[in-house]
Amino acid sequence: MITTVLAGEPAAVLNVTGPELLADAASVAATIERSLDRQDVGVTGHWLLHELLRRSMVYDDLVNALQSPNSLTRAGAARICGAARLTDSLVWLGDLLEDPNPGVREAAVRGLAQHGGRRAVEVLVGSGDRVRPHRLAIALAKAASDFDIEALMRQPVSEHAAVATVMACGLRHDVLRISPLLGIAHDRRWPMQVRQAACKALAMIGDRSAADGLARLAESDPDTTLRKIAHKAHRRLLRRAVARPK
């Protein structure tokens, strides 16, 4: 049905209720995500999906379910609202980052990552230490645009967010960020955790252009731990560069 609507059948209606969608939230979210991630689906496609949900009388059910007393319902709603990129859900998804149930908190992080966009990124980086750096990096790698990443690297809101942002560059294999990452790794004004994360991100990207910079860091940085991390990152980078297809 979603594919039909995106193909230009604006009068279609879903023959399911909100509770029925929530009962199979993982599959519903996966279907929506696949449909919206197609290259030929733009802003119009998102609008058509939102109108389908409203016309089918399930839009409000999905958003309201984010406040359900049932943790499974809250988690399912977070998955679907995030995949469908329902703007009305963003505030509630942010609130769910403080949910007492770990499954709901994880669903909220995932939902924000799938939703993407500036506001979702702001909610994620504003979460403080409620989201572990590695998990936040994974979310930012999906949610943030190149412009968002550049802004976060230039003016991170916290050390926690800075670590996650540079790791997100590695997860995205972002070769355009090699120079800034090398700058962070070498700049002693940055917190040590951020410099270490930059080394690891460069290893994940695996581009030879960063090899000399990492090698110099491994040889000459005053901090013993950073030298070890840079040395390990340098070796990993070279292995990835060799294994990469020509």
Interatomic CA distance for residues 88 and 91, integer angstroms: 7
State pLDDT tens for residues 160-197. Answer: 999 999 999 999 999 999 999 999 999 999 999 999 99
Please list, in sequence order, all residues whose beta carbon lies within 8 angstroms of the beta carbon of residue 121, skipping any fewer than 6 positions away: 140, 143, 144, 148, 152
Q: Which of 26-40, 135-149, 201-215 has the lowest mean pLDDT?
A: 26-40
Closest CA to 1 of 58, 42, 77: 58
pLDDT above 60 for 6: no
Structural contact between residues 168 and 198, judged by C-beta atoms closer than 8 angstroms: no
What are 102-161's pLDDT values in tens digits? 999 999 999 999 999 999 999 999 988 889 999 999 999 999 999 999 999 999 999 999
Q: Quick one: 38 exposed, middle or buried, by C-beta within 10 A (0-12, 13-18, 19+)?
A: exposed
What pLDDT band is residue 241 in, cutting at 50, 70 and 90?
A: confident
Q: Read out DSSP for 96-124?
A: HTT-SSHHHHHHHHHHHHHH-SHHHHHHH
Rounded to whole angstroms, how far apart are CA atoms 13 and 65? 20
- Reference 116, options 136, 92, 142; nearest CA is 142
Q: How confident is the model at residue 47 (pLDDT cuts 50, 70, 90)?
A: confident
**What is the CATH code for 121-246?**
1.25.10.10
Q: Residues spanned by CATH 1.25.10.10 within the chain? A: 121-246
Give 40-47's long-range contacts (Cβ < 8 A, gap of 24+): 41/6, 45/6, 46/85
